[in-house]
Amino acid sequence: MTTVVIIAVVVLVAAAAFLLVRGRRTGGPGLRRRFGPEYERTVARHDGDTRAAEHELSERVKLHGSLSEQPLAPGARETYVRRWAEVQEKFIDSPRDAVVEADALLARLAHDRGFPDGGGFEEQTAALSVHHAEEVDGYRRVHTAVRGQGGTEEMRKALVESRALFDVLLADAPDERARTDRADRTETKGSATA
């Protein structure tokens, strides 16, 4: 009887270990769920080679997955909100300058929240994609617009899309993100870039 209990316990422990290891697997559906549109973008960049794309995304998780976002310094939130409003206002008279400022503002905010910037834009967006995969593409679009690709409408769309990353980086917690989003929509209702 004791032998049967011991065998049963060993089988249960082995099954639990198998499920635990399998649950930690970083490839396939887990990466697709985690990265969403970033997964598809990476696969396309690798010409449809999902194995290469998943390897890249897994490496991003290894490098940046343990990154802990830092809180903003006191008063920084208000400064960032004010500066973003200035960027939006500037867009009316000088779209290119506004997009340049938005790109720099997002880079600075990401840095202040603890994302790396030492290796440049690609390293920073790789780290951001691990934690904010749904929002990082707007930042890429703004960065591309700064390089002179696209007209005023493309710059406007890039600025609008980059606002999502700005909002999530500005918030310290998910419930704050929702409050910030609602407050900003109320303030910018009717704005050309809202």
- Quick check: is 70 in a domain? no
Asked whether residue 169 falls in the same domain as residue 106, the answer is yes
Instruction: Please name the residues in contact with 184: beta carbons below 8 A apart, sequence gap of 6 or more.
Output: 81, 167, 194
- Average pLDDT for residues 105-118, to the nearest whole number? 90
* Residues of the domain holding 95: 76-187
Q: DSSP state, 69?
A: P
Domain count, the chain: 2
Asked whether residue 147 falls in the same domain as residue 51, the answer is no
The pairs formed by 62-69 with CB atoms below 8 angstroms and a separation of 24 or more are: 63/126, 63/127, 64/116, 64/126, 64/127, 64/130, 64/131, 65/130, 67/114, 67/115, 67/127, 67/130, 67/131, 68/114, 69/113, 69/114, 69/115, 69/131, 69/169
Beta-carbon-side half-sphere exposure of residue 42 (alpha carbons within 13 Å):
26
Asked whether residue 164 falls in the same domain as residue 116, the answer is yes
Asked whether residue 11 falls in the same domain as residue 107, the answer is no
Asked whether residue 10 falls in the same domain as residue 97, the answer is no
Mean of pLDDT over the chain: 82
Does the structure show a pLDDT above 70 at 49? yes
End-of-domain residue from the set 64, 94, 113: 64
Q: What's the pTM value of the predicted model, to 2 decimals?
A: 0.72
pLDDT attached to residue 190: 41
Does the structure show a pLDDT above 80 at 143? yes
- Quick check: is 194 in a domain? no
Does the structure show a pLDDT above 90 at 84? yes
Do the Cβ atoms of 110 and 102 come closer than 8 Å? no
